[in-house]
Amino acid sequence: MRPEISICIAASRPAGLARLLESLARQKLPEQTAVEVVLVDDAPCEASRAAAAAWRGPGPLRRLEEPARNVALARNRAVDAALGRWLAFVDDDETVSEHWLAAYLEHARQRDCDGLFGPVLPRLEAVTTRWLDPELFYARPRLASGTILGAAHLRTSNALLRASLFQGRRFDPAYGRSGGEDTELFARMLRSGAHFEWCDEAFVLEWIPPERHTPRWLARRAFRGGVVSTRRQDAGPARPARRGLARALAAGTLLAAGLPIAALAGRPAAFRRWLRLCTQAGHVYAHFGGDVEEYGVDADGP
C-alpha cells in the first residue's frame, strides 16, 4: 500500500539523528495512516548507521547515502525515493511532538492547500552564553493556523507538502553548501501558484548545541543569511543589482552609526543591531560575487 506520508530527512549529525528518530518512533498517527522514513545520510559513519538500524517506529525506514556533502542533493535523493502522497520534512537537529503528523493531516483534510509549515521552537542543550536568550535570538515567528504564507516562512525544518509539487522540480544544488535551497525551491512553487498555510499545532523542537549558543555563531548565521538572500533574489525576477547594493550599503551605514546608542539599552539590544549589520554585510558581500559554505565544512552544518 502506498504510504500517506514519506518523512524525508537529510542527515549529517549522528547524535541529532538518533534523537530525532526516537521522537519519530513515538508518533501517534490516525488509524490506517501508513508512513515511511526516507533517510539520506551525506556524512555516513557507524553512529548514523547504528541510529538507523535501531529504528522501531511506525512504517519502514530506508537509508541511502549521498557521497557529496551537498544538502540539496541529499534532499533530492529523498524526494526521488519517497513513495508517499505527502512529503514531510524535518531536520536532524530537531525532535517532533507526538502529534506532529496528526496535526498536519487534520489541517490538510479540512482545508484545500498544497503545503503546510509549522513552528520550530528553540531549546538549549546547555547554556554557553548566559545573556543570549533563546527566545530573543533563536526563536522564529509563530502565526495563527490557516495563515497564508509567503516565501519568508518556507523551510524544510518543519513542513508537509504534496508530492505532486515536486514533479519537474528539485532543490537547486547551487545552494547545497550554503543553505537556502529550501526557500528557493518553495518560492518557485509559490510563483507557480502553490498555496501554503501555517499549522501552529504541528510544532518541532530545535536543539541548540553549546557551540551554537555563542555570539560568533549567530553573527556567522546572520552574515550567511544576507549572502544567501541576495543570491536568491538575484536569481529570481529581474531587479536592478546596483539598487540592491545601494540599499544594503545605506542600511549598513545607519545600523553602524546607531550601535553606540543601542549599547545604552544593554548588551542584547546592541547585539541584535549588530546581527542586522552582519546581514547587510552579507548582502554587500554577495553583490560583489561572494559566497559562503556551511554544509560540508564540518559535521555541524548551518
pLDDT of residue 238 exceeding 90, the answer is no
Residue 218 has a pLDDT of: 97
Residue 296 has a pLDDT of: 53
pLDDT of residue 297 exceeding 50, the answer is no
Among the listed ranges 28-42, 166-180, 222-236, 261-275, which one has the minimum average pLDDT value? 222-236
Mean pLDDT of all residues in 28-54: 93
Residues facing residue 198 across a β-bridge: 117
Sign, CA dihedral 33-147-152-279, equals negative
Residues ≥6 apart with Cβ < 8 Å to 21: 37, 51, 52, 54, 55, 57, 61
What interhelical angle do 215-235 and 241-257 show, nearest 10?
Answer: 160
Which pTM does this prediction carry?
A: 0.89
Tens of pLDDT, residue by residue over 93-131, are 999 999 999 999 999 999 889 999 999 999 999 999 999
Among the listed ranges 36-45, 206-215, 288-297, which one has the minimum average pLDDT value? 288-297
pLDDT of residue 302 exceeding 50, the answer is no
Mean pLDDT of all residues in 146-156: 95
Give percent above pLDDT 90 in the chain.
72
pLDDT of residue 134 exceeding 60, the answer is yes
pLDDT of residue 48 exceeding 70, the answer is yes
Q: What is the largest CA-CA distance in the chain?
A: 63
- DSSP structure string for 178-210: TS-HHHHHHHHHHHTT--EEE-TTS-EEEEE-G
Mean pLDDT of all residues in 58-87: 95
